[in-house]
A and B are shown apart, each in its own frame.
Chain A
Amino acid sequence: MKTVAIEHLARVEGHGGITVELEGNTVGNVHFDVFEGARLLEPLVRGKRYDEVAPILSRICAICSVAHSLTSLKATENAFGIAISRQTEMLRDLLYLGENIESHSLHLFLLALPDYLNCASAIALAAARPDAVLLGLRLKKLGNRIQEVIGGRAIHPVNAVPGGFGRVPATEQLIELRDALSEGIKDSNAVIDLMAALPDTDFCHCNTAFAALDSAGGGSYYGGEEVIAATNGDRAIVRAADYRTLAHEQSVPHSHAKHSTFRGKPFMVGSLARLTINPHRITGRLALAAERLGLHLPADNPMDNNKAQALELIDDLARALAIVERLLREGIEDERPPAVQPRAATGTAITEAPRGLLIHSYTYDAEGRTTSADVITPTALNAASMEMHFRQAVEQCAERDDTALRRRLEMIARAYDPCISCSVHLVRKR
């Protein structure tokens, strides 16, 4: 028996690890060990007032702080029956796009690209391809600026509150964003040129199931209530309140993460799932870009998630600019959030975080304090699919040496762009 173990992935933090057992050419147990799962984060917010919940949970992760904050607010609003205005919806869409631009540019150019170009880290990449690193930093900064203007702070948005925003952006700030986005869009061709020139990464092919919010109404990451899960031509609709059907979790030995399956099959969430479930998004210049990247849907190669992120990145820049232009054209109203009347109720929300479906569900008492809280992250939803692709990648690899196998496993793991909740960040001395 041989074991290929990646204790913790470079560029994928500490307690995520991969173990693959091999008996000759037969693959035995495969484990992706992440500390994710239902009610993991409940102790942080149990007994807290409704207006404390989103600020706490937005701190789960610096890169996903908008996703956690807005999904949390949406769940609370669903519990209390609070309707939001069209303007708030547009501003939240814009805030979400800012996070997606930031997250995808960081992931593609500073975390995934070093693998493709055989660089040990982003620092090594900076020496080999400063143009790629500067492109990533430039787009990330633009995504951060959008979040700062709309969210009120560069991380952990404090301006988004139940029912709306503490303050709306000034016209001058929107003009600044319009100009910055008009400039940023000029980088779109560079994004596709760079991604199209990367070496092929055909590590595994297998029939993959996907789940994503139905964005037939406009492609918002934030809006929408229905998830479409598709496996091999079989499509099903899951409403937010029935999220347990989707996140049907099973305990797996040697993994903290409970595995989510839909109709018994692992499924993938994230950019590739969003484009697969909503192919109508790929028209015009996006269709041309998809052709240049060699992205054909439905895809059966998890590495195509990187190509899908590149498409979303250039699409997000255009969509963010369109929202800013519309807000400027229609004029921004100085709206105040409505008064909140707490009630004993349960509220659930599902949104599309940069790396896939994110679910928050809370039960409040009559005073508006949480009696239970459930957060299901995209990485928890992806864990079973990741293990399936790890297994396929090893089975379909003719080489059996550790270096080749480890490279495949690490690149597939990174293509999923996993987020391990509540990571630590400390500096280490050698």
Chain B
Amino acid sequence: MKPVLVIGLGNSLMGDDGVGCAVAERLAAEARLPESMELISGGTDLLRYAGQMAGRERVVIIDAIQVDAEPGNVIALDAADLSLDTRQDHAHHLSAIQAIRLLEMTTPAQFRLVGISIGSAGMDASLSPVLAARMPAILGRVLHELGCHSPESDAGTT
């Protein structure tokens, strides 16, 4: 089996919507991440990575999540979690949750979602000051979810 594949999703021109990509890019320079893990900073179309998922046991998706929580909270969910909204409201790419359901037809990989709560998203090539300030804590928490324990940087997130 190939190593775990970690894919950050989002539109980096739409402010905090791009936080999944921003986290993936920062993880690429992160010494605490095992070398065996493969990272993709992936834009908004998860189906693009169907080829890279072949032969994997685990795929972890990092994406912005709209949930009743302060911006910057990290929420790990099984992709099969029934509380996730499966409705489709994108122009011409499937939502991450819809894409996962379809990809399960072609790959035996287990999908896990690491959501980062955001307040709002508007046209901006940068993250909001709130999310940028919380990035060290977010990275610590995401690393924890990936099995790379880092208790000192978990503080401040749930």
Measured CB to CB, the residues of A under 8 A from B are: 8-14, 16, 41, 43-44, 56, 59-63, 65, 103, 106-107, 110-111, 121-123, 126, 130, 133-134, 137, 140-141, 144-145, 148, 154-156, 355, 379, 417-420, 422-430
Contact = CB atoms under 8 A, between A and B. Distances in A.
A106 B93 CA distance: 7
B97 A122 contact: no
12 contacts: A8-B89, A9-B89, A44-B125, A121-B86, A122-B98, A133-B102, A154-B48, A155-B48, A423-B11, A423-B91, A425-B17, A425-B90
Contacts, number: 165
B36 interface: no
B106 A427 contact: no
Interface residues of B, number: 49
Given A43-B123, A126-B102, A10 B47 contact: no
A227 to B, nearest CB: 23
A30 B5 CA distance: 46
A422 B14 contact: yes
Given A122-B102, A133-B105, 6 more contacts: A56-B13, A111-B92, A122-B98, A126-B105, A423-B90, A425-B93
Contacts of B88: 10-11, 111, 121-122
B43 A156 contact: yes
B96 A427 contact: yes
A427 B85 contact: yes
A142 B84 CA distance: 29
Contacts of A430: 83-85
Contact of B48 (A62, A134, A426): A62
Q: Which of B12, B13, B42, B101 has the most CB of A within 10 A?
A: B13
A287 B125 CA distance: 46
Contacts of B125: 44, 56
B113 interface: yes
Given A59-B11, A430-B84, A155 B123 contact: no
Contacts of B115: 427
Nearest to B75: A429
Given A13-B90, A122-B88, A122-B94, A154 B105 contact: no
Interface string B50-93: 11100000000001111100000000000000011111111111
Contacts of A122: 88, 94, 98, 102
Interface of B: 9-14, 17, 40, 42-45, 47-52, 63-67, 83-98, 101-102, 105-106, 113, 115, 118, 121, 123, 125
Contacts of B106: 134, 137
A121 B98 contact: yes
B121 A424 contact: yes
B64 A418 contact: no
A130 B104 CA distance: 12
B21 to A, nearest CB: 9
B54 to A, nearest CB: 10
Contacts of A103: 92
B70 to A, nearest CB: 15
A173 B47 CA distance: 22
A11 to B, nearest CB: 5
Contacts of A144: 47-48, 50-51
The 9 A-B residue pairs with the shortest CB-CB distance, nearest first, are A62-B45, A426-B64, A428-B85, A425-B44, A62-B43, A424-B17, A155-B43, A13-B90, A62-B44
A419 B44 CA distance: 13
B64 A110 contact: no
Nearest to A130: B105
A427 to B, nearest CB: 5
Contact of B98 (A123, A141, A148): A123
Contact of A123 (B50, B91, B93, B102): B102
Contact of B113 (A134, A137, A140, A427): A427
B89 A13 contact: yes
A110 B92 CA distance: 9
Contacts of A106: 47, 92-94
A126 B99 CA distance: 11
Nearest to A426: B64
A137 B48 contact: no
A335 B123 CA distance: 37
B45 A44 contact: no
B83 to A, nearest CB: 5
Contacts of B64: 424-427
A63 B45 contact: yes
Given A155-B42, A420-B91, A423-B44, A429 B85 contact: yes
B95 A427 contact: yes
A224 B118 CA distance: 43
A224 B101 CA distance: 40
B73 to A, nearest CB: 12
Nearest to B17: A424
A270 to B, nearest CB: 12
Nearest to A428: B85
A111 B47 CA distance: 13
A99 to B, nearest CB: 11
Contacts of B118: 426
A386 B63 CA distance: 33
A8 B87 CA distance: 12
